[in-house]
Structure formats: structure tokens, C-alpha cells
Homo-oligomer: A and B are copies of this chain.
Amino acid sequence: MRVLAGALLGLLAREPLSGTELNQQLQHRLGAAWRAGHSQIYPELARLEGEGAVSHEVLPQPDRPAMKRYALTEQGLGRLRAWASEPGEVSAVRDELAVKTYSLWLVNPVAAAAVLAAHERHHARRLAFYEGLLAELERAWDAEGGALGSPLFASVALVRRGLGYEREYTEWCRWVRARLARAPTTPGAPA
């Protein structure tokens, strides 16, 4: 199964959603793990429906165009369970800043520090967001009893992954910036 299909089924396993809502939730709830635009989502939903993993009803809305609300079928739930239990390969990292880092010795340290600072701000912002979200989710999960069968368990686990990623990335940016700030000019790195 494609990862995007797994992501959509995972969202629908919690509540029925329309294409637009899936698009938003993919960004907000699964943004730490995957990304996709609506032009990928609609065809994928059509395919999943053709395969019987998902079904929809048309929801007329008072002051908006009608939306198709998709829901997981029993078959879809089975597929999701099977996919989530599969081992699978370790996903390869694709990080443009890390590739640039390999050529950092060729770059003026002041310019390099500016690039790093911009990325650090971005990751620090996401880190703060995840910290708040995690506190909220853990409170709700604890209140429920902390069961592994609760969707909140999975949410907490994923947010913890995003939090750790952003924390580590932020700290790494800080380390590189500190190194860049130490020596003013060097051979091989012209103004």
C-alpha cells in the first residue's frame, strides 16, 4: 500500500472526513510524518473507494458547496491494520540543508550563519508548537486511562517523534552556528 493511502485511512479511522478536511488534517496532525497536496488526495480517495476501502455520502451544507464525507469501511480498517503491522523499510532522509552542510567549508561563515539561523528559527517554532500539543494530548490520554487502544496513544507517540526531531534539529543548528561564530575568517571561505 502507498504511504499516502495509509495516511488517509489512518485519519478516517478516527472520524469521517471530506477531501478538504483530510487535506487540512494531513497537514496538522500528520505534518511531522508526511505531506501531500489536495491534487494527490482526491485521486487517492477515488482509488480507495474503487477498492472498497472507503465509502462516501454527499453532505449538503447550508451556506457552502456540498462535500463528500468519506468513511472507512470494514475492509479499509482491515487493510489499515495489516499495513500498520508490516515491518517496512526505513525511510531515506532527504534534507537539502544537510546536503548544503557538506559544502559549508566553501561558504563565507557569516552568510552560512544566517542560513542556519533561519532554519533554527523554523525548527524552534515547530518545537514549541509540539511541546504545547504534547502536554495537551498527554493530559487527555491520562484522563482516559492511558490505554494503548486509544487514538490518543498514537497521537502522543507521533507528536513525540516530531518533538524529538525538531529539538534535535534546533540543537544541531545551534552547534553549527556556535562553530561558525568562533573564528572570523578562514582560508577557503572568501567574503
Contacts and interface: CB of A to CB of B under 8 A. Distances in A.
A57 interface: no
Given A80-B103, A107-B84, A115-B86, A175 B149 contact: no
11 contacts: A10-B103, A29-B102, A34-B94, A35-B92, A81-B103, A84-B100, A84-B103, A101-B158, A148-B186, A157-B176, A168-B168
Given A87-B118, A105-B150, 8 more contacts: A3-B96, A6-B100, A10-B102, A13-B106, A34-B98, A35-B93, A90-B97, A157-B179
Contact of A122 (B90, B94, B112, B187): B90
Interface stretch (A15-23, A38-46, A47-55, A159-167): A159-167
Interface of A: 3, 6-7, 9-11, 13, 29-30, 32-35, 77, 80-81, 83-109, 111-112, 114-115, 118-119, 122-123, 147-155, 157-158, 160-162, 164-165, 167-169, 171-172, 175-176, 179-180, 183, 186-189
